[in-house]
Chain A
């Protein structure tokens, strides 16, 4: 599959028909689930600290590169690490989890550098916009310095799927969906399910909700709020790194700016769903994913604009977002 093809190649033969619609829906769910994972990372941090981590997109990018490195593939001709490779070659799934973990650690570092010092000085929250944007720029430049600006691709068929596509239709009216998109959808669903359970059913999740609602109260309950904030940034970065790898596996890593458009769209997703709302991030992800999947092939170059057009329209009607409340809450 060629670049930009998170969405399966459109069925050329017919106009609008049922199988086309079904295919669009399946494609939309797949990309939407990645948006959802990515946006969840944003929203977790927002719900706890009331701030947006603008370095989230850069962590997404890093996650994709970490996975690439962990699979043992060689970097290109530019940058400090040109033509080097790790001596290990991990299986793709292991590399993906490793990449996400490393992205999570970077996110923890971002909290240390860009957020904690400001929080401890009770600085205006707007300042963290500047500091996290600054960290994002540094990370992107660092990537370019280390591995250059070229694009990288994972080994073909990274998940070792036996068929490149699965036909959801009949032989006469095929509805092909790329297998990798089904894997992505499955991974995303598992993550979403685990996270929802963790937030609503565990003591840790309830503690997280307490921190989101009132930091002082959380302290009085004996919750180690500092540790919980670090954990939140880790999970957030893990999700970003995972999303980066999944998108990279579906198309390719397009360079150090890989996560920028994605990061902007992720912002759109959480605003659409309702800032800080976990189910809102998921819903917003699927709405944008589905909307993009229905962009006709002749307008595919305007796909990115669709997300924001929808965002604009929905916010005209519901300024607080689809599920607009402002904190982590029951899903």
Chain B
């Protein structure tokens, strides 16, 4: 990454309120093309809120969100997906009543290139063989790990340039978590830009280029992932 690279995503002075509660206070963060950036912090720090603001599920009180040079602060959620941002949300939110296959197909809802969509579905099944075996299964009957894989695969079906991942390791056994993070590494190597929210800070920083620490709605530390891992204050607060 050189200094001259324009960020793919720039969040500037972003504030979000839920009614009277200030969830984010003037946060700044940037994600460069091809980077994996980790956003870490305690419960309730505002990590999911940041992702929800970027994908426009909640309204922004103040500040702006610039994606690929365009201001998307007031865009509608479906326009965000079309612009190339995919969000695998907290709690996975797969469509429990539809099949694995239909979930994936709906991930490509904004696309019209049928042949490429079919090829991409096969690519997802290659990436997640467990899903391939279960393509006709009703998604609600998948295990937690399989649902997480489906949530990521579904997000990838829109061919995003920026992938927002909210707690991909939540509730998963270590083995499955490792599997998921291997896939994140592979996506990184392929050049997909990722903003990764995790409570498991050590894991997230180990797989990221840079990191931000969010505390009670404000960013308190940021820097290269390796520097954050070595930082005494971050170690004490988040790495145990």
**B78 CB contact (under 8 Å) in A209, A223, A327, A329:** A223
Known interface pairs A206-B106, A207-B106, A207-B109; A219-B77 also in contact (CB < 8 Å)? yes
Q: Which of B81-89, B127-135, B183-191 is the contact stretch?
A: B81-89
Complex Cα gap A217–B81 (Å): 12
Q: A329 — nearest CB in chain B belongs to which residue?
A: B97
Q: B217 in the interface, Cβ–Cβ < 8 Å?
A: no
Contact among B55, B76, B82, B98 for A206, CB-based, below 8 A: B98
A210 touches B89 (CB 8 A): no
Q: Which residues of B contact A217 (CB under 8 A)?
A: 89, 93-95
The answer, yes or no, to whether A304 is at the interface (CB within 8 Å) is no
Instruction: Tell me which residues across on chain B come within 8 A of A329, comparing CB atoms.
Output: 97
Interface readout for B31-69 with A: 1 if CB under 8 Å, 0 if not?
A: 000000000000000000000000101000000000000
A220 lies within 8 A of B95 (CB): no
Interface size class of B (residues with CB under 8 A): 20 to 34
A189-207 CB contacts (< 8 Å) to partner B: 203, 206-207
Q: A206-B98, A210-B95 are in contact. Are A221 and B107 (CB under 8 A)?
A: yes
Q: Is the CB of A214 within 8 A of B93?
A: yes
Q: What's the Cα separation between A213 and B57 when bound, in Å?
A: 17
B215 within 8 Å of A (CB atoms) = no
Q: Which residue of B lies closest to A217 (CB)?
A: B93
Q: Which residue of A lies closest to B154 (CB)?
A: A221
A223 to chain B, nearest CB (A): 6
Shortest distance from the beta carbon of A207 to any chain B beta carbon, whole Å: 6
Chain B residues with Cβ below 8 Å from A213 are 95-98
In angstroms, Cα B98 to Cα A217, docked, is 13
- With the chains together, A213 CA to B98 CA distance in Å? 9
Residues from chain A with a CB closer than 8 A to the CB of B77 are 219-220, 222, 225
Q: Is B158 in the interface zone, CB < 8 Å from A?
A: yes
Could you tell me the distance between the alpha carbons of A216 and B56 in the complex, rounded to whole angstroms? Answer: 11
Knowing A219-B77, A222-B78 touch, does A209 contact B57 (C-beta < 8 A)? no
Instruction: Answer whether A220 and B81 are a contact pair too, CB < 8 Å, given A213-B97, A214-B95, A329-B97.
Output: yes
Main secondary structure of the interface of A (DSSP, over half): helix
With most chain A CB atoms within 10 A of its CB, the pick from B57, B77, B82, B86 is B77
Distance (Å) between the CB of A222 and the closest chain B CB? 3
Q: Are A222 and B81 in contact (CB under 8 A)?
A: yes
Per-position binary interface string of chain B over residues 89-121, scored 1 when its CB falls under 8 Å from any chain A CB and 0 otherwise = 100011111100010011101100000000000
Query: Which residues of B sit under 8 angstroms from A225, Cβ to Cβ?
Result: 77-78
Assess the B93–A216 pair: CB atoms within 8 A.
yes
Contact with B along A93-105 (1 / 0, CB 8 A): 0000000000000
Q: Is the CB of B109 within 8 A of A222?
A: yes
A224 within 8 Å of B by Cβ? yes
CB distance from A305 to the nearest CB of B (A): 36
Q: Is the CB of A327 within 8 A of B109?
A: no
Alpha-carbon distance A226/B82, docked complex (angstroms): 16
In whole angstroms, what is the CA distance A213 to B77 when docked? Answer: 17
Given A210-B95, A214-B95, A225-B78, residue A220 in contact with residue B55 (CB < 8 A): yes
What residues of chain A lie closer than 8 Å to B87, measured between beta carbons?
220
Give chain A residues whose Cβ lies under 8 Å from the Cβ of B82.
222
Q: Report the separation of the CA atoms of residues A217 and B86 in the bound assembly, to the nearest whole angstrom.
A: 11
Within 8 A of B (CB), among A311-331: 327, 329
Cβ contacts A to B, 29 pairs, < 8 Å: A206-B102, A207-B109, A209-B97, A210-B98, A210-B106, A213-B95, A213-B97, A213-B98, A214-B93, A216-B57, A217-B89, A217-B93, A217-B95, A219-B55, A219-B77, A219-B78, A220-B87, A221-B106, A222-B77, A222-B78, A222-B81, A222-B109, A222-B110, A223-B78, A223-B109, A225-B78, A226-B76, A327-B97, A329-B97
Q: A216-B93, A222-B77 are in contact. List 11 more A-B contacts (CB 8 A).
A: A206-B106, A207-B106, A209-B95, A210-B95, A216-B57, A220-B77, A220-B86, A220-B89, A220-B93, A222-B110, A225-B78
